[in-house]
Structure 1
Amino acid sequence: MSRWRYITYLVCVALLPVAGAGATEPMSGDSWWQGQQLMGGYAAASDPYAYAAGPAQQTFGYEDYASCGPAIPQQLPTNCGYFFQYDYLLWSVNAPRVTTIGDASSERTVNVGGVSYHFTNSLDTSWIGEEFHSGHRWEFGNQGEQDGWIGSVLYGSYEESLSASGVNFAPIDPYNLLAGYEDLNGDGIDDDRNGNHVFGRYGEDLGTPDPPNGFTPPFDNVIDQAAPTDVGDQVLYLVTFGNFQVHNTTTLAGVEFMYSHRTCMSDRNQWTWFGGVRYLSVEDQFGFTATGGILDATSLDTTVHNNVVGPQVGGRWVHRRGWFSLSAEGRFLAGLNAQRGTMTGQIATNAQATGLNEPAALTATAFNDAVSDEVFSPIGEVRVDSRYFINRFAAFRVGYTGIYAGGISRAAPKVVYELPHFWLSNTASREGMFIHALTFGFELNR
């Protein structure tokens, strides 16, 4: 026996004290189950798959699988008692539907300094990727000869972010809050942009004084009398942030408990059926902080909670051959998803309305919003795993887990960028979420 296998064997025996469990040197292939003193009291006589009665059930131990009837060829003994399983997940979630950071319908052609161009939003959410991140899954339970129970806990979270400068932003502006007056000649009054000799909010130029009390052309650009505000002198200011920090965080957490029933091991194959209840939480956070420009110090924080709960059924197939085993598993949850979205933020914290060369009516605004919904969320899960046993009760495992969750709401697509405050739409609430995970772990007495 190799040094590595011997050292591994000793470590596992030290970590898995089982009362009354004798240990002898394991053999390769199907002969693992042979020998006069197989671990746990099992003994092979003339048939390598026959076994003698073992000790009673114990914590992280096993008992004689008597309910399956007498020993028959091709039947392997199956562990009973409490079991534990841990998987490290290298997991990825599909990105939410790509949406513009800003309002696409508010993009327009502008003329600045005699140059016309199309002003568009600089960013969308395509930077939210599908990279792999770390997660964890713990599974535990107590399996009798045929009936038992299974519990499972799942957790994983990851954040992605983007930093940018010179970010154009075009919000919905139904009240023309981005409109204002400009003073390009530096005389301290609004410029007469439409050439009607009324200077915005400051008054009217009647022409050159011609006593007594008369005015004649030429006009001298001097205010001679008050006049109604000329809104025709307004310009719509463009929003360009100097610095823009945006982030998205997705967190998965779940708990499930199920009753299990398994068949006898036959021809190295075994089936387990289970049913119970499952809860899955999908939390999606999206937000940004932006500085510079006429909307200086604008921030947003949006969180959407998906709380899916319902009955779950599933099945598991295991094929064992010597030191190795292969399993495939499927689960289905018919879930009710209680969704809730919340939003907080502030717009143009440093804005000073009524000034020159900036929006005339825009003021700093704090806001919050919330929406809720209830939708049907079916969840399907498949697992494929392979195991390498280092002794009767412990094995290393590697595999794949795939999960599809329907009716999931994501944060970024729900934001409506409208002045004077942003708000949440309740229409983008039924996206499909695909989760892929490579799993690496170990199990005890499974």
Structure 2
Amino acid sequence: MLLRRSKLWLTIGVMIALGGMSAHAQVSDMQYFAPANPGTFGGGARANEGFFISGEYLRWSISKPDAASIGVAPPASRTVYYDTDVFREQTSTADNTWIGTRFTDGSRVEAGFMEDHQGLMFSGFFMSTYGRVNKLSNADVVFDDPEFGPPPFKRLLQGYVDDALTDIQDLPVTFAAPIVLDEEDNPLPTWGLVMDNVVETWNTELNYVYRFHPTRHGTFWELYLGVRYFEFNEQFNVDAYGGILADSHWYTRATNHVVGPQAGIRFFRTFDRWTFESTAKFFAGFNFQDYNQHGVLGSQLNPLAGPQEDVPLYMGPTAFTNSATEEEWSPAAELRVAIKYNVTRSMTLSVGWTGMWMDGIGRASNAVVYRVPNMGITLDNNTQDLFINGVTAGVEFNR
């Protein structure tokens, strides 16, 4: 995170230095630290022109995905046996609601040029890795276990439930923390289910800017027309230990590549050294979604060991890889508000808030199909709402 911030400020410093390598007549106007000039012209403060660059620190949150079970969602269940006459209805007991909406860090850089009423502006932001981890000592996970073979049909999660190896029934899938002792035979903390959710998102855009004449009250309005690219990557990882499918792992990644045109409007007004501004944009995005999944179920199963009590009779360790693609319409709206203070003639400090809503986003934890032996990917819930918002603080230089 410190490295990313260092790169941001280094970029700003380099661009300022390059801007200073012009003719001496031009340099005389680059008084970045000259006193601010809050004077007015034509009834109001003049809007800045020329080259500009800004860097902002972001403290934003990302909305959580829709609720999803780890396993086939209740009320679906399986009748599982612990002995010939000992059975119960097993349902999935873990879900993804722990992911939450925690705030994380990011950075945004904007640069451009304005002359008279027209200009160009580049903008880009990057969010630092947003990660959440949840650990459970044990969890029931119901897998879809389809029938296979000729009658009488078999299932992969069936096995002997008696020590005489005479009664074959459905076995329970419960991932439970293994017992691990230290050198003094004291129990060490272990987990049956470890879940990890990681998000990374970034955005870049290029806009043509048209600035209208100021109103009679000194308010400036600008029209934005441009193109935008937004990427949202999420990875949902599960490591499961203990039970009849010890040890199992499945890792699912959802990538949203959203590109399209956008239009926006900005207005601002300056009072002495203070500037109040607001920007609204609409992004007509088209989303190219990619899903990838890999893992292994029952890595400790030994098909050469022969029939055993409470061990799947027909299933061995199974590695799998799955992928899927989809295209969705992903419109988005963004609102930004900020207060700026003109410290010197060419340097401005700002604080503000940004909120962005987008539709048609695929999330990783909602794309998992819980089916033995090869899991799978579902696109049944790949058009979720996404809301990103938070505060900003930055500095801007204008030549």
Partner in structure 1 of residue 225 of structure 2: 275
Deviation at 1:110, TM superposition (A): 4.9
Aligned ranges 1:27-106 → 2 under 5 Å: 32-34=37-39, 49-50=40-41, 72=42, 74-104=43-73, 105-106=75-76
Distance 1:182 1:111, change over 3 A: closer
Contact 1:270 1:317 in 2 (8 A): yes
Match of 1:148 among 119, 123, 133: 119
Aligned match for 1:263, one of 192, 198, 212: 212
Deviations 1:107-142 (A, max 9, x none): 245565766654222210000101111111111111
Cα distance change, pair 445–24 in 1 and its aligned pair in 2 (3 A) = closer
Q: Choose 1 or 2 for highest CA Rg.
A: 1
Question: Does the 8 A contact of 2:224 with 2:263 survive in 1?
Answer: yes
Q: Distance in 1 between matches of 2:81 and 2:253?
A: 38
Give the drift of 1:360.
0.5
Equivalent position to 2:171, from 237, 240, 244: 237
> What residue ranges of structure 2 are gaps of 5+ in the alignment?
1-12, 21-25, 148-154, 178-191
Task: List gaps (5 residues or longer) in structure 1.
Answer: 1-11, 35-48, 51-71, 191-199, 201-232
Q: CA RMSD in A?
A: 2.3
1:439 deviates by: 0.9
Query: Which of 343, 352, 365 is the aligned partner of 2:318?
Result: 365
In structure 2, distance between residues paired with 1:111 and 1:101: 21
Cross-structure match for 2:134: 162
After TM superposition, list the pairs within 5 Å mapping 1:147-226 onto structure 2.
147-156=118-127, 157-175=129-147, 176-184=155-163, 189-190=164-165, 200=166
- Aligned equivalents of 1:445, 1:317: Cα separation in 2: 18
1:343 aligns with 2:320: no
Please tell me whether the aligned partners of residues 267 and 277 of structure 2 are also in contact (alpha carbons under 8 angstroms).
yes
> What is the CA distance between 1:373 and its match in structure 2?
1.0
Q: CA deviation at 1:331?
A: 0.7
TM-score, normalising length: structure 1: 0.74
- In the TM superposition, residue 294 of structure 1 has moved relative to its aligned partner by 1.1
CA contact (8 A) 2:81 2:171 kept: no
Alpha-carbon distance change, 282 to 24 in structure 1, aligned in 2, over 3 angstroms: closer
CA shift for structure 1 position 90: 0.8
Question: Match for 1:253 among 188, 195, 202?
Answer: 202
Q: Deviations over 1:19-65 (max 9, x none)?
A: 224699858xxxx535xxxxxxxxxxxxxx23xxxxxxxxxxxxxxx
Q: Which amino acid aligns with 1:445?
A: N
Identity in percent: 30
Provide the C-alpha distance between the structure 2 equivalents of 1:180 and 1:168, rounded to a whole number of angstroms. Answer: 18
Distance in 2 (alpha carbons) for counterparts of 1:94 and 1:115: 43
What is the CA–CA distance in structure 1 between the aligned matches of 2:318 and 2:246, rounded to whole Å?
12
Q: Is the 8 A contact 1:352 1:362 kept in 2?
A: no
The TM-score with structure 2 as length reference comes to 0.82
My pick for the range that moved more, 147-156 or 17-26, is 17-26
SS of the counterpart of 2:27? coil
Partner deviation per Cα, 1:256-302 (whole Å, 9 max, x = no partner)? 00111112344331111110110111111111111211111211111
2:379 is aligned with 1:426 = yes
Tell which has more relative contact order, 1 or 2 (C-alpha 8 A, sep 6+): 2
Aligned to 1:356: 308
Distance in 1 (CA, whole Å) between partners of 2:307 and 2:391 is 58
Counterparts of 1:180 and 1:76, CA distance in 2: 81
Which deviates more from structure 2 when the two are superposed, residues 413-422 or residues 353-362?
353-362
